Chains A and B, each alone.
Chain A
Amino acid sequence: MAEVTLQKSLSAPKTGENTWLWLLKLVTGPLILVLIVVHFVVNHYIGSNGLLTYREILNYYRIWIVPIMEGLFLVLVVSHALLGLRSIILDMHPSRSVLNLINWLFLIAGVVSVVYGIWLIRVVVANIPGS
């Protein structure tokens, strides 16, 4: 009985959830935690006013690894959020047609968000004086 309770307390792929996507959601979590702590520290501790101004953002993006790190953060967090939301929806046992619709909507939302975010990063980098 104790073993059954223990097994049920563990996270595992749900019905309708691909094992690789479940694993992706799981693995992106700790990576996001590292990046989000960096994000919070930079935004709330480095910023002179508690939040970065436009010029402070440009200065931060001068560090070559920052645009790459922010791009990676964007891809990881969007993937994790949408896979997590899909996982919550799976708990409501949607029909196959509803799940197909959700899969397409989330795929489109994910691609649009990542493309838009990367475009925004490129705009910021392009506005760095001397770039």
Chain B
Amino acid sequence: MNTSKNQPSPSRLLNWFNPRGRSLEGMAFILNRITALGLTLYLFLHLIVLGTLARGESAYDSFIELVHNPVYIFGEFLVVAAGLIHGFNGLRIFFTSLGIAVPRQKAMLYVLMAIALVASLIFGLRMFTA
């Protein structure tokens, strides 16, 4: 594995997101970073938007009506998929950091990403058909 790409400096910031020449673990690293940044941004926007709950039923339900369109639903789907991918990939990092299943982390990554993909599709199906 080319670990030097996982030790970026400010001048090599874009290397974090460069998939060329990376091993599977390196790709998992990029995926973890991209989803982490996206989810953190979403978390704080989500908290701000949930403030409409304090303005009562009509304000909140009007907001829910507003976001019930394909563009927002697609955005929500990306958040759900990012949450599942980051979460299951994070589970691999959790186990390997504790020294569990280190030699099998590639297999673990495949299995956990398959679970994340299937779960994302299940949620996506519900979100786009509700």
Contacts and interface: CB of A to CB of B under 8 A. Distances in A.
A34 to B, nearest CB: 9
Main secondary structure of the interface of B (DSSP, over half): helix
A45 B130 CA distance: 9
A99 interface: no
Contacts of B51: 120
B130 A116 contact: no
Interface residues of B, number: 51
Interface of B: 1, 3, 6-10, 13, 16, 25, 33, 36-37, 39-40, 43-44, 47, 50-51, 53-54, 56-57, 60-61, 64, 67-68, 73, 76, 80, 83-84, 87-88, 90-91, 93-94, 96-97, 99, 102-103, 105, 119, 123, 126-127, 130
16 contacts: A9-B3, A9-B96, A10-B96, A26-B93, A32-B87, A33-B88, A33-B91, A44-B130, A47-B130, A51-B67, A53-B61, A54-B56, A54-B61, A85-B36, A117-B47, A123-B53
